[in-house]
Amino acid sequence: MVLLHQQLSSRKRPGINRQFPPPKIPKPTTTTTTATTSVSDESRRPQNDDAEGTDIDKMVSLLAEAGCTLFHPSGPPCLPSNPHNFRRHLHRLFSSSSNASLRSAFLSGFSLYIQSSQNLHRVLLPSNRDGLGPATCESLVRHLLLVPPIQIDLQNVLLEKLPEYFDINPEYSGRLSSLDEDVARLIVNHFRWLDFLVDSYAFTNKLLQVLSICPLHLKKEIIVSLPEIIGDQNNKAVVDSLEKMLQEDSAIIVPVLDSLSNLNLDNQLQEQVVTIALSCIRTIDAEHLPYLLRFLFLSATPTNVRRIISQIREQLKFVGVASSCTVKHSKLKGKSTLGNTNASILDALRSSLRFKNILCQEILKETKCIERVQDHKVIDIWLLVLIYMNGESLQKSVEKIFKKKIIEGCIHEVMIDQCIGGNMELVQDYFSSFLSLSEYLLACKEQKARDFGIHMYSILFEEFVDTFSRQEILGALVTHVGSGISFEVTSALDTMIMLVSKCVLDYLEGFSVENLHKVYEFFSHLAISARSRENFFGSSISNELFMIVRKQVNSPDLKYKKMGLIGTLKIVSCLVDANISTCPAPSMQANSEEALELLKASLESCKQFPLPLILFYDELITMLDCRSVQPAIVDWIGKHVGEFESMFLSDLEGGQLSVKDLYCGLEGELMMNLDGDISPICLNILPLVSSSLQSSTNLQILPANFLLLSTIERLANHGSLGGIDALLGCPLHLPSSKYFSGDCLQSLTGKQKHIVCLSLYYATNWIRELLNAFCTQVIGRFACTTQATREEMIVKLFKRLRNLLFLESLLNNSLKLYPLSLPELHLHVEHSGFQPNLVGHVEKKNEHKKTYESLSSSKKRKDRMMSKAAKDSGIDGKLRQPTIFDVLKKAGATTSQGTPNDDSCTLSPKCRTSESADQHTYDTNKNISLEISAIFKVLEAQRSKFRPLLVDCFSILTFSTNQDSCCPDPAAELPLHLYLLRDIRHKLDFFSPPSKAFSAQHFSAPPGLSGVTVSQFLAKITPLFPTFKKHFNAAVSILKAGNENCEEHWKVQYASAGNPDIPNVVLSRSSVCTSVFKEILHCFNKMLSLADVNLDKQILSDLLEAFQPLKISDSIFSGLLPVPLPGTIEYLYCGAYSFVEDVLDLACSFSFMLASEALLTLESIATSIMKFNDKLMQRNNRSTSMGSIEAVLPGLRSRLSTSSHKILMHNWDKENSENSVKSKGEIMQKILQVYLENSESTSDLLHELACSILPQAQSPKTTEEDDYHGFPTLCPATFNIWYRVLHEENLAILNKLVKEVVHSEKSRAAVQLDIVKELLTKLQKSVNVLVSLVDMCRTHDKIEKTSKIVQVTVHAMAVKYGGKFVDSFLKIHFQMHNEPVIQLVKELQKATRTIQTLCAEAKGLKQTVITSKIPSTKRSMERFLFRVKALLHTSSSECTFWMGNLKHKDLMGQVVSSQAYMDDQNDNNNNPEEPTAEEEQCAGDASEEEDREME
């Protein structure tokens, strides 16, 4: 059967009108008819008018006698109620031989009548029955065609009318026409499904003749309808005719196939049809191929199936295939240009194979019989996959054939590439079948089959990039690995290596430094382990990895060079790991030589570029610290760092420079000399900086180079740095100290300022690396250091720390006066998407000429870098540990040293004459104060460029020279401790970021924490916990003293560190102690919030034990039975809480910030108890906690609420309070939240604050009455904060209550009803709070002193939280609690009306802060309105509901005249407002235009 959707519609012929006016019946004596029913002049035959009128009248009268009214006023003719009697009457009338003339007259009249297109259209349309109903009968023509005597004549007449309507083509018309509007289609449709054909042969011939000249659209329509029009007697003529037409026009292939498939053909004709279809495979359009293939497979029989399969294989060109080369280089990889066509072809093949098993069997036989390699095609793979996918019964056969063809070389990799490569969308539905075949092949014993399986896995993994597909592939490979079969496991591992090398290495650009380390370490191990194997894939991964890193190292882009350096050092670390004992000696030697070649190539590629060279040094340091490296590598690195002295140091004579010179007009000076006159060397900073502006500098790599030197020294001397300990105390050659006083720096030229700033910057980072290197000597990690040496180093480290504070304060002040972007000293920024300047301060092999005095022996050079203490230690030379220079001497390294020549760094007269410092006079009275304890804000903006302090440096906190003296800090070490504490806090912020947004910024670890986990960090700082308490007590003691006594301590210690005497350096002891107080509490707070601390009971106990008071107050244990025993975790929590609580009492007398920090620490302790209790419950797998840890929490929360209340009630200094509140609004908000959340009854407290306290704060008052409401912290500056917090807490309480109400409603027990009523009572309080808060918007506007910004902010919060409140309120099931809810609605109505007024007013004033929140609030109001209406409709309450349009009033209650209607005002005056559950509606009145816009 032909489906209706295959018919092609046509457009209505012009001039046809569906509304037919009733035509007049023509009279025999007249020669004209009405205009609406007359036949057009063009269609009249050349006969006289009387003859025409007579034939038409005769036809009309005959139809009338049979019961048909031809001219019906409503349109089509009207047929009798019994159409069978109508046809029988006409049949009897026309069958009689005596009525032959009557039959001719009827046919002639009908032919004349339908000459008019309107008349033809009328008789083709469905007719009415007796004019009583709609057109439900068949048409008049349909009934006439069922009258045998006139059937063939009518058929001929209608077929001859068809050409008149060929010109209408629906494909080019403006719109598609329906069947009733298309006359040609109506005629064809009348031939379908006739009960009989009088002369089938004649009609068929006539129809086929007309069909041959039909336009394409009508030809398709008729062809599709042929099985329904003609009988089975003329199939031969139909097939022959369709074959001929198909040869002339292949565009009709689809309707022809459709028609042929519906004909009842005998075997001979069926074979002829199959032959016709096979001949069209090559010529048919690709979009029609699915129809042809489906037809052929459905026509398959045991006799022709082999011929069909063979012809399809030979002639079908699968248009979606592409060469593997094209796929790899295509920009549209993964997409096919003809994907839809290919998918349709595969779908046709798949559906056909599913329903005919004979096809599957024949395809398998045909594939087996193919012998020549060149005869195998891509379609063969697809046919096998489709059979494999369709049924389990044939899967084994498909697998065997597939493997056989692969082993024989008939199916090769290029063919599978053409199937899958670049055709992801096409293969998507068949992914599981390809994957199953890959699994089968990889498990085969034959190597060739496994190699092909590896290739299939690779192409599937490469093509399918979605997570699900790749997980399926990897899961299958893991299954192979777990099979335990040796060859299968080997192939699976080789596949994994190939997948990782192809895919992961292509995406290294987006990896952080930490991820690059992990990826390269993984690949390095794979590559090294694969080098000993003869397997192809093993060697390929090694070669590919080496090729990639060499390309990256030599890339001019820093992004790729960074990746290459990390990869190179990871490969080297694997090659030269001395702990690997499995490799034979020749292999280890070859690895060492290859590693040296990699190191040399990497060093050569980055010699000219500071940042890559710094990264190279840092990676070497990490490798040497983490691995035991072969001696040859250590020797090579030692030779390289042996140039350190000649590059950066200068000789001293008696602790002084032999030659003093000017550098760009700047005088130099030796500073920070800890060794005095015995110091043999100095760090040559100023000369190198001044020369760097003209040529190049090595100072940018100085810190990293020195740290590498110290690492090599430790390796060569069992951890000792005795060979280079002179560097710890050597002076620094810097610009003269007179440039740092007064306005001297401002009087310098820009070039001189630049030199001064860079000199201070490099000196700062030099000191930082000194601390990093020499702190390893005093923390007890190495036993090579004597106690005397250790104590001496501790003193020097403290002095260097003082130098660091001084240098950073100077640099911070200098950058304020001369802003400068400092060069980076370590590569930490994730460079991507741009090509940076690799050079920075470009290094070009020291083109400026320097001459150095050569020394007669290397011993003199060693002695200069060794301190006098080391030389005078009295240890025998034979027992002395060899230094790095001894190692270098044995290796044959030659280094030279000398002092710069007079001309080395001098400038031309142009640069020197007018810029000499002696020619300037300075006003030293204009001093800028340098606060040592302050946060260096300018430096903090560029802190990431500095060399980081390593975690080992924090051990300085444990060393102290404090003795019982006149003050708690006689050595003035608190400023030093403060500096280290701030650094600890920054590192803790990384492990425990304060917010998600902050955490997102840390794509990689900050400097100093690369590769350090939380557990490792905690393990290193755990010994510092008691030290925190010690320094905290010292700071508190000084704060209690309340004066600046003992200021001389700092000056003495400052001078002993070699810092120059600058009068504008100041130190505020109170500021230092306040900062120490705050930083220690902050660190304590952060550590308690770390998940690793709460998981590790030992670390948690150590932390809490460090902050125990001398005596715990008994009040903290009140209510606890039994009282926790000392040493238990509960006791430690209580002790720490008591300690911080006592601190808070003291902090209230100092500052708001200290008190708030203490309160936040108390909250952190309470939160830590909850987390620890939760972990215990999870560990014990119990729903309730065991022990007394949970019992501690309620008491501490109560005390926490009291402490927060104390801060809020404290009368802080007015000026201080205002300033702190404006800058610390978040802290005030947090304190208020702690106060509310930890009170005994949050709901009652919230009700009191919102209904009593906050309204009083709004009322106008005198200065004497400022705090009459009881909360000094509640002032105009904090009103918005209080208002927001009360709204938020009220909303949180409401959400909690609603959940409890909903939960209680689920239980149908009678006792639960009382609980629900109690909850509804609490809801009443929450509603009262909202009403009070919203109502404040009215009173707030009446206060003249209230700023406009504050008003708008308060209004915006009322609208926002009011809408959210209503949303939550709607979650209550109103119908279950009618009366209580009605009371709540009455009260809530007060707030909603005010919110409506706020919305209208905000729109009028265009207050965007408010209007952005209006739409969601308005929607909530309307939902609430109709919920209330439904409630009152179902309620038996006496309350009435009236819903109308709310007047537009302002906040003062005055009607806005421009928005009010007089009739509404009159109605309102006559009808006073009733106390009903009335709600506003924002839709339905033009006067509420503003409300309408809210939607």
pLDDT band at 1385 (very low <50, low <70, confident <90, very high): confident
pLDDT band at 984 (very low <50, low <70, confident <90, very high): very high
Residues 6 or more apart whose CB falls under 8 angstroms from that of 1026 comprise 1106
Neighbours of 1352 (CB within 10 A): 16
pLDDT band at 502 (very low <50, low <70, confident <90, very high): low
DSSP code at position 1473: P
Closest by Cα among 405, 404, 382, 386 to 395:
386
Distance CA 1246, CA 1322 (A): 12
Share of the chain above pLDDT 90, in %: 14
Closest by Cα among 698, 712, 704 to 648:
698
pLDDT band at 318 (very low <50, low <70, confident <90, very high): low
- Tell me what pLDDT residue 20 has: 34
pLDDT band at 1071 (very low <50, low <70, confident <90, very high): confident
Distance CA 1300, CA 1315 (A): 9
Q: Residues 1420-1479: pLDDT tens digits?
A: 888 888 877 777 776 655 555 556 565 556 656 566 654 444 444 444 444 333 333 333
Taking residues 1069-1091, what's their average pLDDT?
90
Neighbour-count burial of 1102, counting CB atoms closer than 10 A to its CB (0-12 exposed, 13-18 middle, 19+ buried): middle
Compare 1217 and 211 and report the one with higher pLDDT. 211
Instruction: Say which range, 598-602, 668-672, 1459-1463, has the weakest mean pLDDT.
Output: 1459-1463
* pLDDT higher than 50, residue 1094: yes
- Tell me what pLDDT residue 996 has: 44
Closest by Cα among 1010, 1059, 624, 489 to 810:
1059
- Tell me what pLDDT residue 1187 has: 54
Residues 6 or more apart whose CB falls under 8 angstroms from that of 454 comprise 442, 491, 494, 495, 498, 537
* pLDDT higher than 50, residue 1277: yes
Distance CA 375, CA 1207 (A): 91
pLDDT band at 660 (very low <50, low <70, confident <90, very high): confident
Instruction: Tell me if residue 1441 falls in helix, strand or coil.
Output: coil
Neighbour-count burial of 33, counting CB atoms closer than 10 A to its CB (0-12 exposed, 13-18 middle, 19+ buried): middle
- Tell me what pLDDT residue 1250 has: 87
* pLDDT higher than 50, residue 22: no
- Tell me what pLDDT residue 767 has: 95
Q: Residues 223-258: pLDDT tens digits?
A: 888 888 887 778 888 888 888 888 888 888 888 888
When the pLDDT of each residue in the chain is averaged and rounded to a whole number, the result is: 76
Closest by Cα among 1106, 1102, 1107, 1092 to 1171:
1092
Q: Residues 544-583: pLDDT tens digits?
A: 788 888 888 888 888 888 888 988 988 888 888 766 544 5
- Tell me what pLDDT residue 702 has: 92
Q: Residues 8-19: pLDDT tens digits?
A: 333 333 333 333
Is the distance from CB of 1398 to CB of 1410 less than 8 angstroms? yes
pTM of the model: 0.67
- Tell me what pLDDT residue 1354 has: 87
Compare 1301 and 187 and report the one with higher pLDDT. 187
Q: Residues 754-783: pLDDT tens digits?
A: 999 999 999 999 999 999 999 988 887 776
pLDDT band at 441 (very low <50, low <70, confident <90, very high): very high
Distance CA 765, CA 715 (A): 23
Compare 1058 and 848 and report the one with higher pLDDT. 1058
* pLDDT higher than 90, residue 998: no
Closest by Cα among 566, 579, 571 to 617:
566
Neighbours of 340 (CB within 10 A): 13
Residue 1425 gets the label, from left (phi > 0), alpha (psi -120 to 50) or beta, of alpha
Is the distance from CB of 723 to CB of 865 less than 8 angstroms? yes
Closest by Cα among 611, 563, 625, 557 to 826:
611
* pLDDT higher than 90, residue 980: yes
Taking residues 839-867, what's their average pLDDT?
41
- Tell me what pLDDT residue 530 has: 66
- Tell me what pLDDT residue 38 has: 35
Taking residues 1212-1241, what's their average pLDDT?
73
Residue 328 gets the label, from left (phi > 0), alpha (psi -120 to 50) or beta, of alpha
- Tell me what pLDDT residue 1492 has: 33
Instruction: Tell me if residue 649 falls in helix, strand or coil.
Output: strand
Closest by Cα among 795, 800, 747, 746 to 769:
800
Compare 30 and 91 and report the one with higher pLDDT. 91
Is the distance from CB of 1302 to CB of 1373 less than 8 angstroms? yes
Query: Cα–chain-centroid distance for residue 1440?
Result: 53
Closest by Cα among 1240, 1333, 1323, 1324 to 1285:
1333
Is the distance from CB of 230 to CB of 203 less than 8 angstroms? yes
Instruction: Say which range, 592-606, 810-824, 874-888, 1376-1390, has the weakest mean pLDDT.
Output: 874-888
Distance CA 528, CA 542 (A): 7
Taking residues 1063-1076, what's their average pLDDT?
82
Closest by Cα among 1465, 1358, 1365, 1468 to 1414:
1358
Instruction: Tell me if residue 666 falls in helix, strand or coil.
Output: strand
Is the distance from CB of 385 to CB of 401 less than 8 angstroms? no
Residues 6 or more apart whose CB falls under 8 angstroms from that of 118 comprise 15, 16, 17, 20, 36, 37
Residues 6 or more apart whose CB falls under 8 angstroms from that of 34 comprise 23, 24
Closest by Cα among 1418, 1388, 1412, 1410 to 1481:
1418
Neighbours of 1141 (CB within 10 A): 23
pLDDT band at 1269 (very low <50, low <70, confident <90, very high): low
Instruction: Tell me if residue 1481 falls in helix, strand or coil.
Output: strand
- Tell me what pLDDT residue 963 has: 53
Instruction: Say which range, 177-186, 346-355, 1343-1352, has the weakest mean pLDDT.
Output: 1343-1352
- Tell me what pLDDT residue 1028 has: 92
Taking residues 33-37, what's their average pLDDT?
32
Q: Residues 1301-1345: pLDDT tens digits?
A: 777 666 554 445 667 677 777 888 888 999 999 888 877 655 544
The b/e string for 530-565 (b: 16+ C-beta within 10 A; e otherwise) is: bbeeeeebbebbbebbbebbbebbebeebbbbbbbb
Taking residues 1086-1092, what's their average pLDDT?
89
Instruction: Say which range, 156-160, 660-664, 1018-1022, 1104-1108, has the weakest mean pLDDT.
Output: 660-664
Taking residues 1166-1171, what's their average pLDDT?
90
* pLDDT higher than 60, residue 1095: yes
Largest distance between two CA atoms of the chain: 156
Neighbours of 243 (CB within 10 A): 16
- Tell me what pLDDT residue 1133 has: 92
pLDDT band at 727 (very low <50, low <70, confident <90, very high): very high
Distance CA 1129, CA 1133 (A): 6
